Structure 1
Amino acid sequence: MDVNSYMTKEVITIDPKTKILDALDLMKQHNIHRLPVVEGNRIIGLITEGVIERNTPSTMTSLDMHEVNYLLNKTNVGDIMEKKIISIHKEALLEEAAIKMRQNNIGVLPVVENTNQIVGIITEKDIFDAFVDVLGFYTPGVRVVVNIREDRKGVLEEITDFFYEAEMNIQQVAVYRKSDIIQVIIQVDSDDVDGIRTNLESKGYEVGSILYKDPTAL
């Protein structure tokens, strides 16, 4: 999966000369917490609620609310925006976006192409949505985890052949390699939990867990 598949493509942006109060109003209006700052179509900064808060006089100052609002209405976004931008290309892998967010302790990445032209934005929520999609959460079916204690060539093909021969449609497949075990997670279009477990175990496979998943029951 690539960033382009899950990013938000209709990005709300602002000019560096936008006043801070106007930026806050725009965030509230669209229920968002950050805005890319652009000149033309080129991103030059990022303004967030956190950046604004750090640059706003606190309640401990001698300024009253009118004075604070006056300062906010006179200060441009370009004066306080985050200029060190961590971005990602739209054709990058989704996991690369997740790693960048984790390593830099951020929850959003502007998506760019060519010379920093912004074409989208991707957030932690988008990464979560992708994770849910790839595991087929919203599709009902049997989810089975097969534990492989010893890796060998062709084992994944053997497991998928098992379901093919049982005439079960495979909906999702994922493989997790841990230090001492490999787990193959397969979801199939079926509700026969007991039958699948019995038949897998009769073939010598170790079933770590198995359940019928019905998202409509949530």
Structure 2
Amino acid sequence: MFRVNDFMTRNPITVGPDEKISAVIDLMKFNKIHRIPVVDSRDQLVGLITEGMIAADNTATSLSIYELNYLLSKTEVRTVMVKHPIAINQNALMEQAADKLLAHDIGCLPVVDDDNKVVGILTQNDIFRAFLDMLAWNKKGSRLVIRVPEGLGILGKVSSLFANQGISINSINVYELNDSAAEILIKTKGPIAKEKAEDILGKEGFTLLSFEDAQ
């Protein structure tokens, strides 16, 4: 089961709401990060600050570099941050995290424990990584897309076909087309010959729609 705790960046850099913007900019540059959770004295989440927020808050182009730097050295994070940002619990499912990112059109989620203490941060890239892991994209093996009739026990039947041939499966995903047919995406554990796959499936009346050689 794919949970936020498995894909988040643990122990992220955090700042307090009274930190100066100039210090936050230095932190972002030095650590090559674009967003930082804001926490109180108990490490509980109170806000989020990003590069975009800082840039949007400093549009006074008439200021000299000296004046701008002085302003940034005096401005506190609390004046720029998003207060009470949308967050997610470390034990939540990755599907829930993806749904939150899409629903709110945001690029990251601070991750908290049951006491609302920041324990990580999750970004869109982490969602992509989870998606690829789910499909066993980075594991060697053949990739097959099969069309099968919709019905109870079809998934088990397809899995048994490969197991009976001594072929292990790294991942299997079902895409329902309609009430009468579905497509199954299979990534085998290790390569198999296309001809063998066609023979295995053809005997049961299943159609091999596409086949990719092992990576």
Task: Report the TM-score range of the alignment, normalised by the length of the smaller protein.
Answer: over 0.9
Residue number in structure 2 paired with 1:157: 156
Cα displacement (A) at 1:82: 0.7
Cα displacement (A) at 1:213: 2.6
- CA-atom RMSD, angstroms? 1.4
Map 1:1-218; keep pairs closer than 5 Å. 1-40=2-41, 41-59=43-61, 62-148=62-148, 150-179=149-178, 181-188=181-188, 189-214=190-215
Which structure 1 residue ranges, 5 or more long, are not aligned? Answer: none
User: Could you tell me how far apart the structure 2 residues matched to 1:178 and 1:111 are?
Assistant: 35
How many residues in Structure 1 have an aligned counterpart in Structure 2?
211
Cα displacement (A) at 1:206: 1.2
Encode CA deviations 1:174-193: one digit per residue, 9 max, x unaligned: 11223464211111122312
User: Could you tell me how far apart the structure 1 residues matched to 2:22 and 2:182 are?
Assistant: 53
User: Could you tell me how far apart the structure 1 residues matched to 2:203 and 2:114 are?
Assistant: 56
User: Could you tell me how far apart the structure 2 residues matched to 1:84 and 1:42 are?
Assistant: 10
Counterpart residue identity of residue 192, structure 2: D
User: Could you tell me how far apart the structure 2 residues matched to 1:138 and 1:114 are?
Assistant: 33
Task: Say whether the 8 Å CA contact 1:20–1:76 is kept in structure 2.
Answer: yes
TM-score, normalisation: structure 2: 0.93
User: Could you tell me how far apart the structure 2 residues matched to 1:164 and 1:213 are?
Assistant: 18
User: Could you tell me how far apart the structure 2 residues matched to 1:49 and 1:141 are?
Assistant: 40
User: Could you tell me how far apart the structure 1 residues matched to 2:167 and 2:204 are?
Assistant: 16
Q: Percent identity?
A: 37
User: Could you tell me how far apart the structure 2 residues matched to 1:33 and 1:178 are?
Assistant: 40
Task: Say whether the 8 Å CA contact 2:36–2:49 is kept in structure 1.
Answer: yes
TM-score, normalisation: structure 1: 0.92
User: Could you tell me how far apart the structure 1 residues matched to 2:172 and 2:79 are?
Assistant: 49
